[in-house]
Structure 1
Amino acid sequence: MNQGRRQRKGSRYATLCSVVTSMISIIFGYDTGVMSGALIFIREELGISDTQQELLAGILNVCALVGSLVAGRTADIIGRRYTISLASILFLVGSVLMGYGPNYAILMAGRCVAGLGVGFALLMAPIYSGEISSAEARGFLSSLPELCIGIGILLGYIINYLLGKLPLKLGWRLMLGIAAAPSLALAVGILAMPESPRWLVVKGHLAKAKKVLVKISDSEEEAELRFREIKSAAGIDENCTEETVKLSRNSSGEGVWKELILRPSYAVRRMLIAAVGIHFFEHATGIEAVMLYSHRIFKIAGVTSKDKLLLATIGIGVTKVSCLIVATFFLDKIGRRRLLFISTGGMIVSLSLLGFSLTMVDKSHEKLTWALVLSLVGTYVYVAFFNLGLAPVTWVYGSEIFPLRLRAQGASIGVAVNRLTNAAISMSFISIYKKITIGGAFFLFAGTSILAMLFFFFFLPETKGKALEEMEMVFGQKTERNAAAAAATTETTEPEQNA
């Protein structure tokens, strides 16, 4: 019994590290959720236009794009742990500015600073979790940041409902400002966590990396095996017993843009296409329109009072978190691809229902109760299927497929595309639905979901149960098959030529 507990101690410690690291995603999720309701009150007090609302909602993602690109190189220089702490500090400053918020300009400034923190957090939380976990538990631990985003969004919706009853000038400022407290706590607390052993190896700190691996593994044998695999991936002799070594500049994260963009190998090119594609489709299929503008959707459908609007959005948050919890336990059991197909299939159906019901509401001159109910059901079902697959798989997949030398900066490209697509949707949704009707907008998202399913089928191989050090082989399999076929062809044609 004691032996069993001792053998599981490493896994529990790795899980604890992932949970603490993922807390930064709660802050980001809270900022997203709380802004959805806060916009109602900001518009009422400051009298901002629809265009200004779109800018306020979307500027966070524009700045997150910049943050994610900077975070990749930053993480290679100062480490995963300090980069996450820096993200917390950015959230702290942004929350203080938004909570102060005397005018629209200060609100925008705070949103921009918080956006930089979002870019850092979205990149580093799943990478850190993936790098300290074993292959068998990586899907579960790497999906925790997405689950925490869902928890944060739900908390934001609940705070909207509770603080929305306060005086107008105080309520929304408290909504946006209270995130400063957990940001400060996390900025300090994250420093108590161990550094990623894979980053330590890349920096040549072999003794420190081995010490961390012993803590996060279930046995010394597992730690030794993982240590050998990481050293091999970093270009270090597996039998090297030195405590510190000096690696080439390329191994430590310098010059990787050339290998990623200018002269990628076949496997790296496939990785980049997969990462960019899955991050693009996560938001091109419309989730930001629902999460950020749900109060508008429900109002168009027929929900009119502020309290009922905020309660309806709480239902979205509960649905999101519930389905993310389910997804975390299936990522390592049924695989990434199968979850993606289930997810996008349900999204296509629910988005079509939502488009149909909102079109009927838009064309009718009287209240249609059945269309209101169908709109609510369609919205909740869409959020459910999205979070059963596409939401968690995007962040697990994008953080696990790149080789060690390219991981931080390769994943940062995917995150940048993610934030760019998010910004494009959040900053244009109101304008789009005014041009093609709100029902038409959701039919458009349904069509995009069909394209997403086709992309996943042709470009995303299964990575369940594969060690991080095996990913180049997984994505290079077509090359190996072609080489084998070419060799077989040569063997069959040579006898014919001799004859």
Structure 2
Amino acid sequence: MDNQNENNQNEKSQISTSRKPDTLFLYISVITAHLISMASGASMVWTSPVLGKLYLNDTEVNPIGRPITTIEVSMLAAIPTLSNIFGILFMPKLSDIFGRKRYLLCSGLVMLLSGVGLAFSNNVLLMIITRCIFGFPGAWTVVCLYAAEVSEDHNRGKFGCYFGIFQQIGHLFGFVMGPFFSVKHFTLIITSPLLVFVVIFMILPETPKFLLAKDREDECKNVLRKLRSNKSEEEIESDFEKLKENQIKPKEEQGKITDLIKKRESMLAVILGLLPLLTKYCSGVTIIFAFLAPFFDQAGTSLSGDIVAIIIAVFKITFFILTSFIIEKNGRRKMLLISSTSIAIPLFLLGIYFYLQSIDSPIIAHLQWIPLTCLLFTVSFFGLGLGPIVEGWISELPLPELRAVTSSLVHSIGSVVGFALTFMYPIISEFGIQWCVWWFSMNCVVGAILMYFFLPEIQGKSFDEIQEILKNYDVSKNI
């Protein structure tokens, strides 16, 4: 009898730990959800190809009918980031009430309509309003949640990287289409993935975890059968039981901002999450990308800023994908340090180039290769750490019940900093773009120093082990 029980336990253990190849339906579900990430990425760089047209006095090309002013450029680029704060803080909570699928469908529809409104806007105020509405749902946070909840433990890390990859694909999509179409047609084209999303996502499932949380067990099992169609019924039952065991208790779901100050490790999770995120924003890479084409045109080389933007976007995607393969071997902390330190060097050299250009140095004619080379190295090093790793780093530090509220708070603070930098960049660059670039370079050095002394390594650590690291964290030992 004992042997029989032992055999049954072994069989259950084999079933529960079995890994099967990811199904086509799972890939379709995750990729379709990330069409929102792609559209968001394209929207982020909308200003890069469009600003060149808005500076013109040609009413056939410029929809606002006059050259845009510097202050209007700052508002058009920066104000929409403020809508992200409200979206990140408040809107995704509705997905806990109405479901991930319904929330994403409604968000996709709102973003689609606002994209169409942006395409037909003929003044700066309408452009600002429609861009704010586009980012207001905070849909990308729920997209990441949806992808995580339809995945399994062994493939969650892989699908977690899809957000960064699809966002970079959106950047490339925007850079490729922008130079060849009018503002209206370009905006409609980069909004089109949302139409595909709304149509296809209607027939895709809700996440098993949400269905189980709402006591819809039969529906949960049916969804598991679709997502893991290559598994036997016994394996599906085993997966279902595992979901039930890991289900967060209702009491643990009530994480609030006020809970962050109750435990020292929770506050440390916020602070240590903010450090690489603020370094990411203050490196200036995200700001430069928003103004990439006009930024490069200011370098005065023979290359078109729009063409350079495409080349740089390809490099960025390549290194984002590369990082997803090597991160587990090298560790988060090490790659963040390499990334931040390395970005500082090409940015400093780029600042020297712009300084020589501002004083009309005769040697500038022999240095035309510097702007493109420095930007390629900058985005490549950004793609090795600060770009793709930060979001995952932030989600790994907090307690499970505080993960959502910690992420919301940290990203909201990051959005405020992003708004300030994006708003001030066009104004300060009027006094000399080299000062902006040098400041970005200095920020990378300062960020690298702070991360070297204060960031712990969490490679290969479980969530419980990470919490032990934070509980025993001693600031004095790191200085």
Query: Could you state the TM-score of these two structures normalised by the residue count of structure 2?
Result: 0.83
For 1:39, the aligned partner's letter is L
Instruction: Describe the SS at the equivalent of 2:178.
Output: helix
The verdict on how the C-alpha distance between 1:7 and 1:481 changes in structure 2, with shifts beyond 3 A counting, is closer
For 1:453, the aligned partner's letter is A
The verdict on how the C-alpha distance between 1:476 and 1:358 changes in structure 2, with shifts beyond 3 A counting, is same
Q: Which residue, 124, 143, 148 being the options, matches 2:161?
A: 143
Partner of 1:339: 335
> Do 1:137 and 1:332's aligned partners in 2 also have CA atoms closer than 8 Å?
no
Counterpart check, 1:120 vs 2:139: yes
The verdict on how the C-alpha distance between 1:401 and 1:189 changes in structure 2, with shifts beyond 3 A counting, is farther
CA-to-aligned-CA distance 1:439-482 (integer Å, 9 cap, x gap): 2211211121123223434554445555xxx4244133343689
The answer for unaligned runs of 5 or more in structure 1 is 164-170, 237-247, 483-499
Partner of 1:329: 325
Partner of 1:133: 151
Distance 1:132 1:459 in 2: 34
5 Å-filtered alignment, 1:58-69, equals 58-69=78-89
Distance 2:208 2:398 in 1: 16
Partner of 1:81: 101
Distance 1:403 1:195 in 2: 25
The verdict on how the C-alpha distance between 1:195 and 1:400 changes in structure 2, with shifts beyond 3 A counting, is farther
The verdict on how the C-alpha distance between 1:19 and 1:463 changes in structure 2, with shifts beyond 3 A counting, is farther
Partner of 2:448: 453
Superposition RMSD in Å:
3.0
Q: Which residue, 193, 200, 204 being the options, matches 1:189?
A: 200
The verdict on how the C-alpha distance between 1:126 and 1:274 changes in structure 2, with shifts beyond 3 A counting, is farther
> Do 2:81 and 2:419's aligned partners in 1 also have CA atoms closer than 8 Å?
yes
> Do 1:88 and 1:186's aligned partners in 2 also have CA atoms closer than 8 Å?
yes
The verdict on how the C-alpha distance between 1:293 and 1:366 changes in structure 2, with shifts beyond 3 A counting, is farther
Partner of 1:353: 349
Partner of 1:440: 435
For 1:427, the aligned partner's letter is F
Q: Which residue, 33, 36, 41 being the options, matches 2:53?
A: 41
The verdict on how the C-alpha distance between 1:457 and 1:219 changes in structure 2, with shifts beyond 3 A counting, is farther
For residue 14 of structure 1, report the CA deviation from its aligned partner: 3.9
The verdict on how the C-alpha distance between 1:336 and 1:161 changes in structure 2, with shifts beyond 3 A counting, is same
The verdict on how the C-alpha distance between 1:339 and 1:181 changes in structure 2, with shifts beyond 3 A counting, is same
5 Å-filtered alignment, 1:243-392, equals 248=250, 250-251=251-252, 253-254=253-254, 256-260=256-260, 262-263=261-262, 265-303=263-301, 308-366=304-362, 368-392=364-388
Distance 1:332 1:226 in 2: 26
The verdict on how the C-alpha distance between 1:141 and 1:454 changes in structure 2, with shifts beyond 3 A counting, is farther
For residue 215 of structure 1, report the CA deviation from its aligned partner: 5.4
For 2:107, the aligned partner's letter is A
CA-to-aligned-CA distance 1:93-139 (integer Å, 9 cap, x gap): 2211111112222212211111214x322x22223323333444333
For residue 350 of structure 1, report the CA deviation from its aligned partner: 1.6
Identify, as 1 or 2, the structure richer in helix: 1
For residue 15 of structure 1, report the CA deviation from its aligned partner: 4.0
Instruction: Describe the SS at the equivalent of 1:476.
Output: helix
For residue 233 of structure 1, report the CA deviation from its aligned partner: 5.1
Point out the more displaced range, 92-101 or 195-204: 195-204
Counterpart check, 1:156 vs 2:187: no
> Do 2:353 and 2:364's aligned partners in 1 also have CA atoms closer than 8 Å?
no
Counterpart check, 1:96 vs 2:116: yes
Instruction: Describe the SS at the equivalent of 2:184.
Output: helix
Counterpart check, 1:397 vs 2:393: yes
The verdict on how the C-alpha distance between 1:426 and 1:231 changes in structure 2, with shifts beyond 3 A counting, is same
The verdict on how the C-alpha distance between 1:202 and 1:349 changes in structure 2, with shifts beyond 3 A counting, is farther
Query: Could you state the TM-score of these two structures normalised by the residue count of structure 1?
Result: 0.80
The verdict on how the C-alpha distance between 1:457 and 1:131 changes in structure 2, with shifts beyond 3 A counting, is farther
Identical-residue share of aligned pairs (%): 22
Instruction: Describe the SS at the equivalent of 2:20.
Output: helix
For 2:446, the aligned partner's letter is L
Instruction: Describe the SS at the equivalent of 2:200.
Output: helix
> Do 1:68 and 1:415's aligned partners in 2 also have CA atoms closer than 8 Å?
yes
For 2:281, the aligned partner's letter is H
The verdict on how the C-alpha distance between 1:91 and 1:288 changes in structure 2, with shifts beyond 3 A counting, is same
Partner of 2:131: 111
For 2:448, the aligned partner's letter is M
The verdict on how the C-alpha distance between 1:17 and 1:453 changes in structure 2, with shifts beyond 3 A counting, is farther
For residue 176 of structure 1, report the CA deviation from its aligned partner: 1.5
Instruction: Describe the SS at the equivalent of 2:415.
Output: helix
The verdict on how the C-alpha distance between 1:190 and 1:394 changes in structure 2, with shifts beyond 3 A counting, is farther
For residue 429 of structure 1, report the CA deviation from its aligned partner: 0.6
Counterpart check, 1:29 vs 2:41: yes
> Do 1:94 and 1:113's aligned partners in 2 also have CA atoms closer than 8 Å?
yes
For 1:76, the aligned partner's letter is D
